[in-house]
Structures are given as structure tokens and as C-alpha cells.
Structure 1
Amino acid sequence: MNRAANSASLRRISPGLALALVAFGLALLISFLVPAIPTLTACVVLGILFSALPWRNFVRTEVKPGLAIAARRLLRIGVVLLGFKLSLVNIAELGWLVLGMIVLIVVITFFFTWGLGRMMRLPGQQSLLIAAGFSICGASAIGAMAGMTRAKDSDTATPIALVTLCGTLAIAVLPALRPLLGLDSAEFGMWTGASVHDVGQVVATAQIAGATALAVAVVVKLTRVAMLAPMVALAGVVVARSDRKAAGASGASDELDESDAAVGTAADLTPVKRPAILPLFVVGFLAAVLVRTFVPLPDSFLEVAAYGQELVLGMALFGLGATISIGNLVRTGGRALAVALISWAVIALLSLGAVEIARAAGVAALG
């Protein structure tokens, strides 16, 4: 019986997973032909284009289950595999000044963007997801926060599109500003790693300035990635506290209405299901970081993990992109776009200020 059910489930999700896999292959080809376009960025764009096709409703029932699996479960697997890219030893080499500034930038940008989104009354969990994506590590952080809050795919899709848009713009904008700002290779690498969103976008931006810029940018960027777990945990505490306050207010309202007292009592007996403060896949991410730091892993394993991470994240981002309706994005995405652009500008300015402080202090990591 179980075997038959598993076989039926596999047949149901196979078309969508196969489509996501083909889209990832096409994204690889696009990135190979146009190196300035990261593979994961291409995956999101292909998903958005697929959602705009006139015949998408005809195939939606066939591919939707598989794309939903890709958008959620594969995204979480990708977050875990991302941990194998991160060594605490490399982060420590930046020195306490740079580390402190990176942490401060992440925290300030996160809460600024979250507060701005709430002030602009973005729907659902979009404020929190945009804050995570822009301050920490792009689509991976959005996926982690979405998993913690159990956000809807519709809430997740718009932040993914916005972080892709701004990260892609950064590939062109930041190198153009470099000569005007007088940044050397190492300083440009720090600015890129501290302000650009996804790892792929960081690589595409920093490599324009050479190997030194790329090396510094990747280490700085992975330091921001290390903030993923504590920021998810902190947001989990805040969300849980907000849920408790909402539940308490609802309970107080019930007590004021004597006619509903029995109903209120029955509701109080029903446990409220709240999101976990630290989801299992974030624990997996932390475990991967610790393994990468303290266990001498072979290069072949790290290469396979890197390829696997790009594969599952690419398929996941195509699935998320396919949930985006361009028409709805145009009609309702103005406020979200404003929040994203302001957040992007703030993190770029804060990161540039950190570069100037590091230059004045003569930080060895940038010398």
C-alpha cells in the first residue's frame, strides 16, 4: 500500500521537478554564454518568464506539485549545503574590527528594512523576508526565514524577485562606481561582499576587479552568511512574542464578551501552533559550518557539495519564480520595490562607510 502511494506521489511531482531540472540546465548555459549573469539569477528569471507564458494554465496542474516541492524542500536542502562553503577560520582572519562592522551592518539593515516594510504595510511576511534577503544572503536567507515563519509562496516570490533584480543591477552599478570612489581591489572586494546579496552575484561583481577583490569579497560575504542562523533565531523569538501578544489580546477580548465565554474557554484549550525558533534545516546549516571548520574534508566532497547546492537552489528558485505573476507584481509591487531599493541604498552606503573605516585603521586583511 505504501509502495503504491509513494509511486503515485512520485508520478505526481516528477513533471515539475523535471521542468525545474531542465530550467537549471538552461540557466547554466546562459551563465556560460554570458558570465556576468549568475546561474541562480537566471533560474529566477526563467521561472518568471515561464509564469508569463500564455499556456502556463494548461500545464499548471501537471507541474505545480513538483515545483512546490522544489520551492520549499529543495530550497532548505540548499541552505544546509551552503554551510559547507563557510569556515570559521577564514572569517576570523578578517580581524575583530571588520567582523564587528559586518555584524553591525547586517543587524542595522535587517531591522531598518523590516521596520520600513511594516511602515509601508507590505502584505504577509514580505517585510521580514525582504529584510532577510537584503541584509544577509539573498534567496537563501529568504528561504530560511520563510521556513521559520511558514510564509506563503506568494509572500516569498516577490522578495526573491526583488533581491534578484537589485543583485543583478549591482553587477553593473558597483564596478562603474569603483573609479569614482577611488577603491583599490581589496577595498572594492570588501564593499561588494558587504553589500551585494547572493553569493553568485558577489562573485560576478567582484571578479571584474581581479583575484584579490574576489577573495576578499567571498570571505566577507560568507561572514554575512554566518549571520543567517542567529538572525533567523532572533526573528523567531520576535515573531513568537508577537504571536503570544496577539493571542493574549484575543483572549482578553473573549473575556469581555460573556456570551462567548464558553467558546473562549474552548479556544484557550486548543494549543496554538507556532513556528520553531530555529528550524531543523538551519540546525543542519550550523552543523555543516562546524564540520567544514573542524573536519578536514576532501576537496572532492566540497566540490560535490558546491555543485549540489547550486543545483537544488537553482531548481528551487525556478519554482519560486514560476509563482510570480508579472501583472500582480506590477499592480501591487510598488511599495515592495520602494522598500527594496531603499534597503539596497542603505546597505551600500553603510558598507562603503565600513570600507573607509577599515582603510583609515589600516586593516591588514585589506592591505
Structure 2
Amino acid sequence: MWFQAKVNLGFQQSIAIEQERRNRFIIGIMFTMAFAGAGTLLGSLPGIERIGAMLSAILMAVIYRNVVGYPESLREGIQFSARYLMRFAIVLYGFKLNIDMVIHKGGILLVYDALTIVMGISVTMLLAKLLKADLNLSLLLGIGTGVCGAAAIAAVSPILKANDEDTAIGAGIIALVGTVFALSYTFLMPFLPISSVTYGIWSGVSLHEIAHVAAAAMPAGPDVMAISLLAKLGRVFLLIPLSFLLSMWMKRKEGGKSQSAPFPWFLVGFIITSLIGTYLDIPENVLKDISSASSFLLGAAMVGLGLNVHLSSLRTRAMRPLLAMIIASIVVSSVSFFALMWLSV
């Protein structure tokens, strides 16, 4: 009887411990979502909307980490958000990509987009080597500059086995610098010696995020925004082959090791959702809701990553990659501008 009571007590305690672990796991996920929600609200305020919800959420997470500390009891749920919510957000992100439009209407734009990606990555990495910057973080920034900002960094970080801190720092830098560039484009637009259509293409092939492209092109009218987003979607489309190339590169790089680079299965989901969004008649309001969900989940994932960032590392590791990325962004912007101006003459 005594032995049976002890077994029952032990069984009940193990159930209680497991239940507590589950509760902390759920609370950890909700913790990141609460920050994402606060970032969304903060990012909608006048003046701050230019910064955006994602950067607002990351900054709040970094401040919390360095003032309050990392919530260790919620680590499991936070890590789930950082890793798996991020992949799910990228899958949902595929609904934004109209593959048919990119292939059939944006043929020449794909050439421009490919050149932007090559230039963004190669110039960033060349400058990083010259500046003796952290190459892993610089590669993430180069990919973000060349392709589609924080979404590209989130997509390739598992393939490149980037640590959470690098991914969060990279996403935050891209969001901040891209916002500055979008504001600069909007200010310069009336003074540029190019047509509104050329301006739209330039915005699409050179700015970092889809949101940045939309913000820069919106003042020029709906037609200009349409062509700019088409140009930008070409870069999103090229994220697919780039990711598989990076996966093969990682496998070759680690060829002599037992653990090879993971296959990016979530990109298969990205392709599937892209095909669904392209060829199935999904109501516009549903696509808008999916897009909002994707942005929110990516924000929650970035909160999970931002909680790993030490402010001291921003000074010691991020300054040189940031400088390389800014210079590379200026090169991409300048070269694409003069090339498009010459082609439109």
C-alpha cells in the first residue's frame, strides 16, 4: 500500500511537472506574440509608422533583454517562436508572390533583379573582407540587401546555420537602413531626371523590403506602385533558387563533416503557397489577412531572436558589417539608377 501510494505520488508529480513545462512553453510563445502585438500598435503611431512594426518589436525585445534579462523559464517557447514560427511565416509569405506575373510580365525585370542580388551580396562581402568585419553577419546583410530584407534573412538563416543573435541583428539593421533609404527615395523623387515608371522600377530593384518599395512608390501613384512591386516580387521569386544554391554550398562546405546542411523544407511550402496564391482564385481580403498574419508571426519570431541580442555585441560585431551593408546599398542604388536612366534614354 505504501509503495503504491509512493508510485502514485511520483506519477502525479511527473504529470504536474510536465503540465508546468507545457504551460511555460505556451506562455513563452504568447510572450513573443505580445511583443509583436505591441510592435504592431507602436508601428502604427504617427511618425513611428515609418520604422514599422517589425523593427519596433525587435527594438523592444532587445531593450527588454538588456534591461530586465532573458526570461529563462520561458526559453523553450521563445525558441519555438524564433525557429518554427519564423519558418511558418515564410511559408505564408509565399502567398504574396504571383509567380505567373513575375515570369510572364517581368521577364526583363528578373534580369535586373538577378543583377541586384549578385551585386548586393558580392559588394557587401568584398567590403566586409576589406573592413575585417564579421563575415557570417555580413553575408546575412548582403542577402537581405540583395533579395528582400528581413524575410530573406529569416529564410536563409537556418540554411546557413546562423545563430539567433546574428539573425536578429541582421533583420533589425535591414529594417532600419531600408526605412532610411525609402524615405530618401520619396524625398528625391520630384528632383530625379527619370520618368515615374523608371522610378518605380528603380525602387523595386534596389530597395530592401516590400514595405519599403510600397512606401517609396505610393506617392507616384498606383501604376508606379504596380510596376515597382512587380520588380520587387522578382527578387522574392529569386529567393527560391538562391536558397537552394546556398543549401548546396553549405553541403559542399561541410562535405568532410558528419552533419550536413539541412534541406530547406519550408521553402517547398513557400513554393506551394506561391502556386496556390497565383493560380487559385483567393479573395483579396483573404490574401490581405494572410499577409498580415505572416508579418505578425515573423515579428513574433524576430522578438524571439531579439531577446538573444546583447547591446555590447552591436558595438563590437555589428558596426563594420553595418558599414559594409550601407555602402553596398548605396552602390546597388546608384548603379541601378544610372543603368535604368541610360536604358530609358
| TM-score, normalising length: structure 1 | 0.82
- What does residue 224 of structure 1 align with? 235
| Offset at residue 317 of structure 1 (A) | 1.8
Does residue 27 (structure 1) correspond to residue 51 (structure 2)? The answer is: no
- What does residue 40 of structure 1 align with? 54
Does residue 210 (structure 1) correspond to residue 196 (structure 2)? The answer is: no
Moved more, 219-228 or 13-22: 13-22
> 2:280, 2:52 → 1: CA distance?
30
- What does residue 148 of structure 2 align with? 137
One-letter identity of the residue aligned with 1:37: I
| Offset at residue 165 of structure 1 (A) | 2.0
Does residue 280 (structure 1) correspond to residue 265 (structure 2)? The answer is: yes
- What does residue 338 of structure 1 align with? 323
> 2:277, 2:90 → 1: CA distance?
14
Q: Deviations over 1:198-225 (max 9, x none)?
A: 2222222322333233222222111111
Q: Deviations over 1:309-367 (max 9, x none)?
A: 0110111122222322222202332211111112211221232134324523xxxxxxx
Moved more, 177-186 or 227-236: 177-186
> 1:288, 1:221 → 2: CA distance?
18
> 2:42, 2:194 → 1: CA distance?
31
Asked whether the equivalents of residues 147 and 208 of structure 2 are also in contact (C-alpha less than 8 Å), the reply is yes
The answer for unaligned runs of 5 or more in structure 1 is 248-270, 361-367
Q: What is the 5 A alignment of 1:149-298?
A: 149-244=160-255, 247=256, 272-276=258-262, 278-298=263-283
Secondary structure of 1:182's counterpart equals coil
> 1:131, 1:350 → 2: CA distance?
16
Moved more, 78-87 or 68-77: 68-77
> 1:202, 1:51 → 2: CA distance?
31
> 2:120, 2:291 → 1: CA distance?
28
> 2:79, 2:319 → 1: CA distance?
26
One-letter identity of the residue aligned with 1:73: Y
Q: How many residues align?
A: 331
> 2:280, 2:185 → 1: CA distance?
36
One-letter identity of the residue aligned with 2:38: L
Asked whether the equivalents of residues 37 and 204 of structure 1 are also in contact (C-alpha less than 8 Å), the reply is no
| TM-score, normalising length: structure 2 | 0.86
Change in CA separation of 1:71 and 1:169 when aligned onto 2, cut-off 3 Å? same
- What does residue 308 of structure 1 align with? 293
One-letter identity of the residue aligned with 1:347: V
One-letter identity of the residue aligned with 2:89: G
Change in CA separation of 1:118 and 1:238 when aligned onto 2, cut-off 3 Å? farther
Which of 11, 14, 28 aligns to 1:16? It is 28
> 1:84, 1:107 → 2: CA distance?
25
Secondary structure of 1:36's counterpart equals coil
> 1:227, 1:97 → 2: CA distance?
13
One-letter identity of the residue aligned with 2:56: A
Which of 96, 99, 120 aligns to 1:88? It is 99
Change in CA separation of 1:211 and 1:273 when aligned onto 2, cut-off 3 Å? same
Q: CA RMSD in A?
A: 2.5
> 1:209, 1:121 → 2: CA distance?
40
One-letter identity of the residue aligned with 2:242: M
Moved more, 77-86 or 319-328: 319-328
One-letter identity of the residue aligned with 1:323: N
